[in-house]
Structure formats: C-alpha cells, structure tokens
C-alpha cells in the first residue's frame, strides 16, 4: 500500500514537471513569435520609409526639370 502511494506521488510530480516544461516552452515560443513579428514590422516600416524618400526625391527632380 505504501509503495503504491509513493508511485502515485512520483507520477504526479513527473506530470507537474512536464506541464511546467510545456508552459515554459510555450512562453518561449510566444516571445520568439513576437520578436519575429516585430522584426518583420520594422522591415516593412523601413521599406515604406525608403519608398517615401525615393518618391519625394523623384518629385524634387521632376520639379527641377
């Protein structure tokens, strides 16, 4: 009887540890996804800024002609 209780406790502890590991992994993955989205957003914004510069430069050149 005592041995069965010990085994049950061990199983419960293992399950809790696995759940904690999974939770940490999901948190880590969320951070990675947010970081990647942030990078993508920055690239898009940088590209937009570059296109605006080119457009205004084109207009200036055209006005000078």
Residue 1 pLDDT > 80, yes or no? no
> What is residue 46's predicted lDDT score, i.e. its pLDDT?
95
Residue 34 to residue 59: CA distance in whole angstroms: 37
Residue 53 pLDDT > 70, yes or no? yes
Domain count, the chain: 1
Question: Which two three-digit tokens encode residue 26?
Answer: 């999901």
pLDDT digits (tens, 9 = 90+) for 2-41: 778 888 888 899 999 999 999 988 888 999 989 999 999 9
Residue 64 pLDDT > 90, yes or no? no
Strand, coil or helix: what is 56?
helix
> What is residue 35's predicted lDDT score, i.e. its pLDDT?
92
For 23, the domain range is 1-64
Question: Which two three-digit tokens encode residue 3?
Answer: 């041995």
């Amino acid at each position: 009887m005592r041995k069965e209780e010990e085994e049950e406790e061990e199983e419960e502890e293992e399950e809790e540890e696995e759940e904690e590991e999974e939770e940490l992994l999901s948190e880590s993955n969320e951070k990675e996804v947010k970081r990647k989205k942030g990078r993508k957003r920055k690239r898009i914004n940088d590209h937009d800024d570059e296109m605006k510069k080119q457009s205004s430069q084109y207009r200036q050149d055209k006005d000078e002609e």
